[in-house]
Chain A
Amino acid sequence: MEDVRLHDEAGTGPVGILDLPDLDSVTREHRLRVEALLPRVDAVIWVTDPEKYRDAVLHDDFLRRWLPRLDRQLVVLNKADRLGAQADNVRRHLERSLLDDTGTTRASAVRVVTTTAAGGDVAAVREWLLGVVDAKRVVIGRLAASVRAVLDDLAARAGVDPGADPGSVLEPAARRRALERAGDEVLRLIDLPGAERRAVAATRAAARPAGAGPLGRITAFFYRASGREARVADPGLYLRRWAERGSLAPAVDLLRTSVDAPVRAAPAGIRPALAASADTPRLTARLRDAVDGAIAARTPMTPPSSRVWPVLGLFQGIATLGIAIAVAWLVLLFLFRPPVDTVDLPVFGPVPIPFALLVGGVVLGFIVAWTLGLHAGRLGRRWARQLGGDVRLGVERAVGEEAFAALERVDAARRSVWDAARAAREACGPTLGV
């Protein structure tokens, strides 16, 4: 601060006037000082003269930027006495050029007064200063204009127009299509039909020990011990190992491709963020975790059971017993070879009972086994359909939530900027540029 002078308020009101250095000389520090102070002042009087009033530095670097931002500005054409009768002409020329610069049609928005060595229209300057006195309103006006300018600039960089709905970067229809196709790809990878087949096999495997009699228990033991049951009759394991059956690349590619056009069309400022929403390694990892979570949420996948199976098992047991007795009987007959007519064979009509028992046991066993298979199969298919439907819903929901999560954040940010810019326009009123 080079010099401080006091003034009486009568002439100018309760204002502090800063005489700033020039903004266009070879001393660059002067301009830097002006640029540092301009954002802090409440009102500006731009002083020029007949030689310099159309200088590019003044107009391009300062007036164009600041006239729309501050409502309290005045342009003084000093040394107007040099212009003689042309002074008013020049003043109007300057006013017109300022209106063109700011793009406004409000003539009252830009005011130019002329001053001379003898004074000139200094009274107009004083009057303007007095009008600036309402400090609170002026400060609020300046702050409002600054806020609005900043938000308008942010909105432009984000590609949103405060006067129109920002919408979504990705059109809803395109988003829906991408999600459907990506979901289909993921489900194809998971292989729900395969899982359903295994669900049916798991149900049958669960029914075997209960409903297939003693032999069923032995068979079930061998199936489990050999690992065959885990390979072909464990839908949970099959679903959990979905990632081994291919790559998520087709699904990720579909999602990524849907964002291509918005990325190309977006303003440069948000392009990196939009492109990052299609970061394929992260998208792949998110999808993988989402699908794993959807499948894990469905576990444990315990096959259904039925009270019918033990009953069938009992009958199967009886049939097995009958077969065993018949076979034992016949074996003993062959082993010991009693002389003919020394053994009394009970008969059932014309058929000896051992044979009848054997045939009856086999038939009964077949019927019971067939019934068990039908019943377990029906239960298993019903369970498989329900399982498949649950997993499908879960996966589709997971894909829908994760696929465009990053893009939704960008949309949310754009909408925030739009909301703020709109609120600023409504609250702060129009600027010179409107």
Chain B
Amino acid sequence: MPRSSPDASLLVTLVERVDGVLDRVAAVESPTDAAARRVRQLRDHLASHIRPRARSLEAPLLVMLLGPTGAGNSSLFNTLVGRASSRTGVLRPTTRELVALLRPEDRDSLTGPGGPLAGLGSDQVRLLVDEAAPEGVILVDAPDVDSVEHANRELTDRLVEAADLAVFVTTATRYADRVPWEVLGRVRERGLPLTAVVNRMPPGEDARTIVLEDVRRLFEQGGLGGGDQPLELLAVTEGSLDHAVDGLAAEAIQPLRDRIAALAADREARLGLAARALGGALAGLEPQLRTIADDLEHGAIDADRLRRLATDAYERELAGLRDDLSRGTFLRAEALRQWQEFVGADELTRMFATGIGRVRGAISSFVRGRQEAPVAEVRDQTLDDLVALARVRLAEAARRTSTAWAEEPTAARALESNPEAWTVSDDLEDRLGERLRAWVDSIAEDVRTTGGPKRTLARGASLGVNATGVGVMLATFSHTGGLTGAEVGIAAATGFVNQKLLSALFGEAAMVEMIQRARQRLVEVLSDTFRDELARFDSLVPDPAVLRGLAGELRELADDVRRLPATITVSARPVLLPELPSLVRPSLCSGRTPPPGPPGPPGPGRCRCRSRPTRQPTRRPSRAMPRARRPRRRGAVWPAAWPSSTRPPTPRASWGWTCARRRRSAGRPASGSASRPRRRSSRSWAARASASRRC
């Protein structure tokens, strides 16, 4: 179906939308370090490359030289510059900053606001401003990617996100090093045009051929080069040096010099390369968005599970607490005895006694006088016991939750930085005490409201609202609607007399209603307190709903990117979005959960892994679900494209194995068999060449 070409403003709008969503994603704690790195990478990529290029292809091309330590990046840079500009040496690592060659008019576009290297300090980037620098081209020597100076890697990673052309420099002994291939993975992922320089090549023709063939094979297997975009590979023989410039011999890298010169001379060529870089970047955007969406989905599943663990523990303890309260056995006998002495006194029992009991009560109250109600003692003791009981339950819920969370890697990290989650909050006692006192006050208020004219009776009995409130409070715990004969004890006896008194004061129906209201409010107080304590755990993990929302938004954006036409016009120039090779999309073949949605038709270059029954990231694993069926966590993964003849049979690698087998059945060479990567040893090139002939 022919699609119309939107203008660049639509592209810019899409990029702004993606950036906005990624900002919100970055604000949420990522489930793993790898997930956080992906978000950071994509944000850098958007800010330093896609957004500036979507606005204009006219900005200067950023050509970066990258490679492992000691490969000769700086020597190559010096040769391209024509003088000793970037420090070379034997002590490793040599380059610790970005060194950029540029024209004066290009300075702002590089380091100014919105520029690809905006925000870097002077200790991180050194500018060589030169009128004679290639026009429209900024050449940057990046630090190494694999030395002990980790800051070097961070700088290089940032530059990878911003570059329009990458020149990867390696050596005949280092081309199979793993760490640089991780960076090349990112180059491939974002569709960055690439040229490779193999330095320190052996002088013999046979050895050179073997090395170059192996290098080409690795790059093709890695999805870099091959097909309609063969890899530009340049070999530099060991010893091809120009000491005058502290670099490589110019003739050794003439093709590369010619290419840069051609770019400098031809605006159209520059626009073409920028368009190609932008096209690759846009084509690589969709899988990255889906991968981050999958990360968020995984994070939501984990967060759901963790929150469920916490909620179950707190609900269980709250149910246990309500059970304790309904039995009334937590009430201290001491307090109950004091109250029973008060409510059992003749002065009060005469209110519901009959016949001789009433007469006796009247005489006794006249003789003995008024007994002071032990309101404060009984109330304080009861509330103290209630607080202690609630604290014990809450502490147990916190302990259970923390113990369960400590076994989950993501949650364990959060717990380590929040050790107070293992116990109750420091202010729990004060908070709960205050709420319970408010609850007792609410009972007194209820008594005032309900008592009405009966207050005269209470006053006549010298009972008072507070004392009646305490009676209702105790009845909340001991009123069970019927005590069995086996429960004869201080609690039952007190409860019985207490209820008789309340019933005499308010009537049976009103008393029951008052007790039920008091009980309901108590349940609310306790539930609120449990909820507050549970919220401490909920705050340690991201909200699953937020994560799912963000994942949904990213998938919508990925769909919008997918719907982009094959050709977009930017700066009046067509930008083609290439169909990246199937192996380019690691999320399909590297053990990561493929994106949801109907599997696409298997097409040329599309990985058939997608047609397999997939682990759907939106499925929430139930407790009954065997662990093996749950969506797998992402981590450090070997993408299937990486050259590896004998990958260990891990579940993550199973995707890659499947891809490899299917490629083999389709008649394409697979990894393994005769072309296994050679184990590098101290043997000479010749010995190695003869060994390969024997293989």
Give A contacts to B, CB under 8 Å: 19, 21-22, 24-30, 32, 47, 49-57, 59-60, 78, 83, 86, 89-90, 93, 97, 188-189, 191, 241, 243-247, 249-250, 252-253, 256-257, 260, 263-265, 268, 271-272, 275-276, 278-281, 284
Question: Nearest B residue to A269 by beta-carbon distance?
Answer: B406
6 smallest beta-carbon distances between A and B, as pairs: A51-B70, A245-B333, A54-B92, A247-B330, A249-B389, A250-B388
Q: Give bound CA distance, A188 to B388, whole Å.
A: 15
A55-B147, A246-B329 known; A264-B423 Cβ under 8 A: yes
Question: Nearest B residue to A117 by beta-carbon distance?
Answer: B684
Known: A25-B679, A26-B644, A56-B150. 13 other contacts (CB 8 A): A19-B681, A22-B679, A27-B176, A51-B70, A54-B92, A56-B153, A188-B334, A244-B491, A245-B490, A246-B334, A246-B385, A252-B392, A276-B403
Segment at the interface with A among B79-87, B203-211, B252-260, B411-419: B411-419
Task: Tell me the residues in window 16-52 of chain B with beta carbons closer than 8 Å to chain A beta carbons.
Answer: none
Question: Nearest A residue to B321 by beta-carbon distance?
Answer: A249
Question: Nearest B residue to A78 by beta-carbon distance?
Answer: B682
Question: Nearest B residue to A241 by beta-carbon distance?
Answer: B489
Interchain CB contact under 8 A, B399 and A57: no
A51-B70, A268-B412, A268-B416 known; A26-B90 Cβ under 8 A: no
**A54: chain B residues within 8 A (beta carbon):** 69, 92-93, 147-149
Question: Nearest A residue to B642 by beta-carbon distance?
Answer: A26
Main secondary structure on chain A at its contact with chain B?
helix
Contact of B389 among A28, A29, A188, A247 (CB under 8 A): A247
A86-B90, A244-B489, A268-B412 known; A25-B392 Cβ under 8 A: no
Task: Tell me the residues in window 134-155 of chain B with beta carbons closer than 8 Å to chain A beta carbons.
Answer: 146-150, 153
Q: Can you list 9 residue pairs at the A/B interface with Cβ under 8 Å?
A: A27-B176, A32-B648, A51-B171, A52-B69, A54-B69, A244-B333, A249-B392, A260-B424, A284-B392
B534 at the interface (CB under 8 A from A): no
Contact of A253 among B391, B402, B422, B638 (CB under 8 A): B391
Interchain CB contact under 8 A, A24 and B329: no
Q: Give bound CA distance, A245 to B93, whole Å.
A: 76
Pick the most buried of B92, B334, B391, B416: most chain A CB atoms within 10 A of its CB.
Answer: B92
Contact of B333 among A56, A246, A276 (CB under 8 A): A246
Q: Mark B138-182, 1 if CB is under 8 A from A, else 0.
A: 000000001111100100000000000000000101101111010
**A78: chain B residues within 8 A (beta carbon):** 682
Q: Give bound CA distance, A51 to B178, whole Å.
A: 15
Q: How far is the CB of A235 from chain B (nearest CB, A)?
A: 15
Question: Nearest B residue to A51 by beta-carbon distance?
Answer: B70
Contact of A28 among B71, B148, B647 (CB under 8 A): B647
Pick the most buried of A21, A28, A56: most chain B CB atoms within 10 A of its CB.
Answer: A56
Interchain CB contact under 8 A, B330 and A249: yes
Give B contacts to A, CB under 8 Å: 68-71, 90-93, 146-150, 153, 171, 173-174, 176-179, 181, 218, 324, 329-334, 384-385, 388-389, 391-393, 395-396, 399, 402-403, 406, 412, 415-416, 419-420, 422-424, 489-491, 638, 642-648, 677, 679-682
Q: Give bound CA distance, A229 to B301, whole Å.
A: 64
Interchain CB contact under 8 A, B90 and A83: yes
A26-B677, A30-B679 known; A245-B332 Cβ under 8 A: yes
A32-B648, A55-B146 known; A191-B90 Cβ under 8 A: no
Contact of B419 among A27, A50, A56, A263 (CB under 8 A): A263
**A268: chain B residues within 8 A (beta carbon):** 406, 412, 415-416
Interchain CB contact under 8 A, A25 and B385: no
Question: Nearest B residue to A84 by beta-carbon distance?
Answer: B90
Interchain CB contact under 8 A, A25 and B333: no
Interchain CB contact under 8 A, A263 and B384: no
Q: How far is the CB of B103 from chain A (nearest CB, A)?
A: 33
Interchain CB contact under 8 A, B333 and A27: no
Contact of A246 among B147, B153, B330, B682 (CB under 8 A): B330
Interchain CB contact under 8 A, B679 and A28: no
Contact of B644 among A28, A53, A60, A281 (CB under 8 A): A28
Pick the most buried of A60, A86, A97, A253: most chain B CB atoms within 10 A of its CB.
Answer: A253
Q: Give bound CA distance, A281 to B316, whole Å.
A: 13
A24-B179, A26-B177, A278-B399 known; A250-B334 Cβ under 8 A: no
**A32: chain B residues within 8 A (beta carbon):** 648
A93-B91, A249-B385, A268-B406 known; A25-B680 Cβ under 8 A: yes
**A47: chain B residues within 8 A (beta carbon):** 682
Interchain CB contact under 8 A, A264 and B679: no
Question: Nearest A residue to B491 by beta-carbon distance?
Answer: A244
Contact of B90 among A90, A241, A265, A276 (CB under 8 A): A90
Q: Give bound CA distance, A55 to B177, whole Å.
A: 10
Q: Give bound CA distance, A55 to B399, whole Å.
A: 44
Interchain CB contact under 8 A, B422 and A271: yes
Interchain CB contact under 8 A, A276 and B399: yes
**A59: chain B residues within 8 A (beta carbon):** 148
**A55: chain B residues within 8 A (beta carbon):** 68-69, 146-148, 177, 179
**A53: chain B residues within 8 A (beta carbon):** 92
A51-B70, A253-B391 known; A244-B644 Cβ under 8 A: no
Interchain CB contact under 8 A, B392 and A264: no
Contact of B91 among A22, A90, A257, A275 (CB under 8 A): A90
A28-B648, A51-B174, A249-B392 known; A263-B422 Cβ under 8 A: yes
Q: Give bound CA distance, A280 to B177, whole Å.
A: 55
A19-B681, A247-B389, A272-B406 known; A26-B69 Cβ under 8 A: no
Question: Nearest A residue to B415 by beta-carbon distance?
Answer: A268
Interchain CB contact under 8 A, A280 and B392: yes
Contact of B181 among A26, A56, A264 (CB under 8 A): A26
Interchain CB contact under 8 A, A250 and B384: yes
Q: Give bound CA distance, A189 to B332, whole Å.
A: 7
**A22: chain B residues within 8 A (beta carbon):** 679-681
Q: Give bound CA distance, A56 to B147, whole Å.
A: 4
Q: Give bound CA distance, A284 to B12, whole Å.
A: 65
Q: Give bound CA distance, A51 to B67, whole Å.
A: 12
Q: How far is the CB of A332 from chain B (nearest CB, A)?
A: 36
Q: Give bound CA distance, A54 to B96, whole Å.
A: 13
Interchain CB contact under 8 A, A57 and B173: no
Q: Give bound CA distance, A222 to B59, whole Å.
A: 111
A55-B69, A280-B395 known; A271-B679 Cβ under 8 A: no
Q: How far is the CB of B418 from chain A (nearest CB, A)?
A: 10
Question: Nearest A residue to B238 by beta-carbon distance?
Answer: A82
Question: Nearest A residue to B398 by beta-carbon distance?
Answer: A275
Contact of A27 among B391, B422, B645 (CB under 8 A): B645
Q: How far is the CB of A291 from chain B (nearest CB, A)?
A: 15
Q: How far is the CB of B530 from chain A (nearest CB, A)?
A: 15
Q: Give bound CA distance, A86 to B153, whole Å.
A: 26
A247-B385, A256-B392 known; A263-B71 Cβ under 8 A: no
**B681: chain A residues within 8 A (beta carbon):** 19, 21-22
Q: How far is the CB of B145 from chain A (nearest CB, A)?
A: 9
Contact of A264 among B385, B395, B420, B642 (CB under 8 A): B420
Q: Give bound CA distance, A401 to B253, whole Å.
A: 82
Interchain CB contact under 8 A, B70 and A52: yes
Q: Give bound CA distance, A272 to B398, whole Å.
A: 11
**A86: chain B residues within 8 A (beta carbon):** 90
Q: Give bound CA distance, A39 to B334, whole Å.
A: 67
**B638: chain A residues within 8 A (beta carbon):** 28
Q: How far is the CB of A53 from chain B (nearest CB, A)?
A: 6
**B490: chain A residues within 8 A (beta carbon):** 245
**B645: chain A residues within 8 A (beta carbon):** 27
Contact of B173 among A51, A189, A252 (CB under 8 A): A51
Q: Give bound CA distance, A28 to B649, whole Å.
A: 12
Q: Give bound CA distance, A93 to B395, whole Å.
A: 55
Q: Give bound CA distance, A25 to B90, whole Å.
A: 22
Q: Give bound CA distance, A265 to B91, whole Å.
A: 44
Interchain CB contact under 8 A, A27 and B644: yes
Q: How far is the CB of A293 from chain B (nearest CB, A)?
A: 21
**A263: chain B residues within 8 A (beta carbon):** 419, 422-423
Q: How far is the CB of A145 from chain B (nearest CB, A)?
A: 24
